[in-house]
Structure 1
Amino acid sequence: MKILLVTILAGFLSLFGGDLHLFSVSNADGKYNASVIEKALEANGFVISANSEMNGPFKIQFGQSDFSQFNLLTAYHKAHSEALVKANPDAGIFVPMGFGIYQRNGDKNLHVSILTAKSMEKIAGFKAKEFALIEKEAIATLKKALSGAKITQSETSLPAEGKLLSRFVKASSKESWASDKEETEMMIEDGLKPAGFVMSNFTDYNFALGQKSPFDFYDTYSICKLKVIYTVAKTRPEAAAFAPCTLMVYKKKDADEIVMGFPGVYNWMSSARVDNLEAKETLLQAQKDFEGVLKSVIE
């Protein structure tokens, strides 16, 4: 009776949906792939930051891959992201946002995972209409690109075990921000590689914002750790929506601080329900290492 009640409760909670939109489309003939999705996004108002094929790196470092396709595609919506970040600077953790694209060996379906608008609001810590607008455009684009795809939501998220947004602040000023920026980003870049991180993309988002930008600078880094992605993908490939992680580094013109931040690994564990012990240990080590890099910048 107890097992039955737990099963019924789990099914009931799943009706409310979780933090990820999950797309599944028949792909026995290999018609659909990351390139198809990339082109569709570009044609519908999105700017592609990176489209990283992971099977090659998996096989080189680990000697095998469980997938016939595994891509980490990152993109941002040109118009909606601009409005969002100008009003809410910390939204840069989703510039770019992730599109996890994967197909297991032997699986006839291709899958895509993206964050829901509500999950982005939860991570960022505020509500904004642009989250829903970006979500709407992303869903419409994927529907168009993946004809006949089945769309579901992930199971209800697990309780978060830590802060969803890891945020660090370094003092700066109107007079010193240029040298502070150079020092900050040099220390970040120098600290990433020894800690096992790879930078798959760098975005000078202030350039995209143009002359009317409210920032002295706004940069985002797409950061990943191959062991993390490989280990988590074995049980929860949908967590690819969080990879690579976007690190924001910015300074507002009217502020006396440089802000750095990224979505913590606690999102993977909560939203993608990563409860496998090995995967959790790998994620927590990555969190510790990433925080260590940023702490060294502000100390």
Structure 2
Amino acid sequence: MMNHKKILGIVLLVAVSISGLFAAESANTENTVKKSTIIYTIKGNAEETYYTMMDKPIKALGYRLPDPRKHVNQVYKEQYGSTTLEVLSFMTIVNDKKVKPLLEIDPKLAGFNPFNLVIYKHQGKDETVISHLTADAIIEMLGITDQKVITEYRKQMEELDALVAKTFPSAVVSHGTYEGAVENAMMHYEITFDRPEDLDDYIDEIQEKVDDTFTEKGYIMAGFFDYKQGKPDLLPSYDAFWTFSLCHFPYSYTVFDNEGAMPEVAVFAPCTMYMYIKKDTNTLVIGMPRLANWNRFFTMNNSKRMDFLNKLDKDIPATFLEIGAIEVK
């Protein structure tokens, strides 16, 4: 018969082994290579086929294109005198019918809805690239943990990718990757206001204030999407819910075009800023992804791009404070 000391020693050994196993499993999970983007590379110039796909086929899936921006590279050429790109278009899309029920569970999902299904082609390269962020990368950046939201959002992305694959059957599919946890990826702010008898008065006022303040600082409101669309029965947990698509043209040209161009980073552009007011409250909630995510997933390839990113990542929070918002950690 074993004595008590020997039994205790075995128990401790097993406990330490199990603890080490869980620690190793946790470390392995943390260091697992994860997919940040899905990339379709198509031989030749696929621009026209892409635009055809972005009309009836993508709308048949339930997607809207609130503010499509075609031929961005031509605008770069007009404003800055040159471009290294033959094709660059920002096509922000949102499957609002499927996203709305998920926003009732977690409104942070609006941080990347609408999102960009970008297309680009470098001059002198006989290939076109179509790309977007993966559902899992979006979920991690937004800090979404509800399993229903995760499962349903993954399904939406799978449907979208099935359409792209069907439209471009010869495309070579690859993925951008990252390792480790994505931390401090989002900005969260709140504004407490005196609720008027007609809430639309405040909504009009704050939307105009946000637009004017950012515009004065050199930003462009490249898009707007109203999830409520003036219908009380849509998103019943909210009195108001909308997004702005925020762009800074000199910054985008610096990153996406010219020498060492990084148009692949345009999966993040334009940035989606969401704002909502929960039912019968007097608090406006604001959320937006940080520009630091761009470098986290792609790594800026020169100091000018990195310096510009850091500047705007400080300027945007300062602008939120200027419109009267308070940061919520």
The 1:71–1:211 alpha-carbon spacing in structure 2 relative to 1, beyond 3 Å, is same
Aligned pair count? 285
Partner secondary structure for residue 68 of structure 2:
strand
Summarize the Cα distance change of 1:31–1:164 in structure 2 as closer, same or farther, 3 Å threshold. closer
User: Counterparts in 2 of 1:173-188, with a 5 A limit?
Assistant: 175=196, 177-188=199-210
Per-residue CA distance 1:19-55 (angstroms, 9 max, x = gap): 1111111125x56454133123223221111221201
Structure 1 pair 19–207 and aligned structure 2 pair: CA distance change class (3 A): same
Question: Of the candidates 202, 206, 215, which is equivalent to residue 228 of structure 2?
Answer: 206
Alignment counterpart, residue 150 of structure 1, candidates 159, 169, 172: 172
Shift of 1:145: 2.2
**SS class of match (1:103):** strand
What is aligned with 2:36? 19
Task: Give the residue type in structure 2 aligned to 1:115.
Answer: L
Q: By how many angstroms is 1:115 displaced? A: 0.8
Q: 1:235 to 1:106 in 2, by over 3 A?
A: same
Larger radius of gyration: 2
Sequence identity (%): 21
Provide, for residues 198-219 of structure 1, a one-character-per-residue CA deviation record: whole Å limited to 9, x for no partner.
1121111111875242211111
Aligned-partner SS, 1:249: strand
Structure 1 segments of 4+ aligned residues over 4 angstroms from their partners:
30-34, 157-160, 173-177
Q: Which one has the bigger strand percentage?
A: 1
Partner of 1:171: 192
Counterparts of 1:292 and 1:87, CA distance in 2: 29
Whole-angstrom CA distance in 1 between matches of 2:50 and 2:38: 17
SS of the equivalent of 1:298 reads coil
Matched, 1:79 2:100: no
Root mean square deviation of aligned Cα:
2.4
Distance (whole Å) between structure 2 residues aligned to residue 277 and residue 37 of structure 1: 37
**Structure 1 counterpart of 2:65:** 48
Name stretches of at least 5 consecutive residues in structure 1 with no aligned partner: 1-12
With structure 1 as the length reference, what TM-score do the two structures score? Answer: 0.86
Indicate the residue corresponding to 2:290 in structure 1. Answer: 264
Q: Which moved more, 1:146-155 or 1:272-281?
A: 272-281
Whether the aligned pair in 2 keeps the contact of 1:46 and 1:77 (CA below 8 Å) is yes
**Secondary structure, counterpart of 1:50 in structure 2:** coil
1:248 to 274, 292, 297: 274
Distance of 2:44 and 2:32 partners within structure 1: 27
Which residue number in structure 2 is paired with residue 3 of structure 1?
Answer: none
Could you tell me how far apart the structure 2 residues matched to 1:140 and 1:208 are? 33
Q: Deviations over 1:207-264 (max 9, x none)?
A: 1875242211111111111122222124422111110111111101044410111111
